[in-house]
Amino acid sequence: MEGNKVKIITTKQEICQWAKQVKTSGKSVGFVPTMGFLHKGHLSLVHEAKQANDHVVMSIFVNPLQFGRGEDYTAYPRDEERDKKLAKEAGVDILFMPSVNEMYRKQQSIKLMVTERTDKLCGAKRPGHFDGVVTVLTKFFHLIMPNRAYFGLKDAQQFAVVAALVDELDFPIEIIPVNTVRVPSGLAISSRNVYLTIDEKKQAPALYQSLLLGKKLIEEGETSSTVIIKTVSSYLNKQLGETVKIDYVELLSFPELEEIAEVSRKVILAVAVQFSAARLIDNIMVDS
């Protein structure tokens, strides 16, 4: 086990005091925001943060503001004791675990609204979701005052939105992207994978294989978005069959997340698939 101590903080006042003391001492802080139910993907963020910072802070907070209509906030998986154990073993120094009442003590009189990079991919069907994401991150950034914050590229749309938040509102924070962690079959690690049936677990690696196929097309000189999307979609349909619904296959500029007719810059190829009890997303970046 790497870590042998982790300090748990539950109030904004205490985390702010801690952050001020660290800043005064000239030490650096790496921040890993999570909603808990930790897995290897989250722990890879901690590993990256430990390489470049004197202290690592992880937040565990299931943020109600980013749950929309039809999404059950109370059903989100939680296991605080397991999370504490994994955070300690990974070497987290501070575990910030505030309550909802602590983070949102009164009716909000100011709202943050994301106006770009949200009408594609998963954001297209989750209006207001990223408003909740940038609201809670703005609060965390002010309280923790990190030098760097770490985000997994499995949720590349979130990374793109956070990058815009930091850039446009001039937060003195470096946003660090961390590559998706995968099992040997190529399937991206996700807390949702536990809901896959035995047969679906055999099918699910097709998501990553379809992305590799699209990447190969681009690297071999194909520039038509239509051709690339059609090829990837056809592959998924063939591998998954009629019982699995393909939510989307999209090829967009990155990080702007704008539709393109021809590939001529860095792009993201992304897919989302609805299995019987789990919706999986995956993506791959290609810099042409």
The catalytic site residues sit at 42
Q: State the Cα–Cα distance between residues 248 and 262, nearest whole angstrom.
A: 19
Give the amino acid at 137.
L
**How many CA atoms lie less than 13 Å away from 13 in the CB half-sphere?**
1
Q: Annotated binding site, which residues?
A: 35-42, 66, 152-155, 158, 181, 189-192
Q: Annotated binding site for ATP, which residues?
A: 35-42, 152-155, 181, 189-192
User: Which DSSP symbol is given to 69?
Assistant: T
Contacts of 67 by beta carbon, 8 Å cutoff, 6+ apart: 73, 76, 129, 132
Q: Annotated binding site for beta-alanine, which residues?
A: 66
Q: Annotated binding site for (R)-pantoate, which residues?
A: 66, 158
Measured CA distances, 280 to 5, 17, 132, 245, 263 (Å): 34, 39, 21, 11, 25
Which residues, listed in sequence order, are joined to residue 129 by a DSSP beta bridge?
none
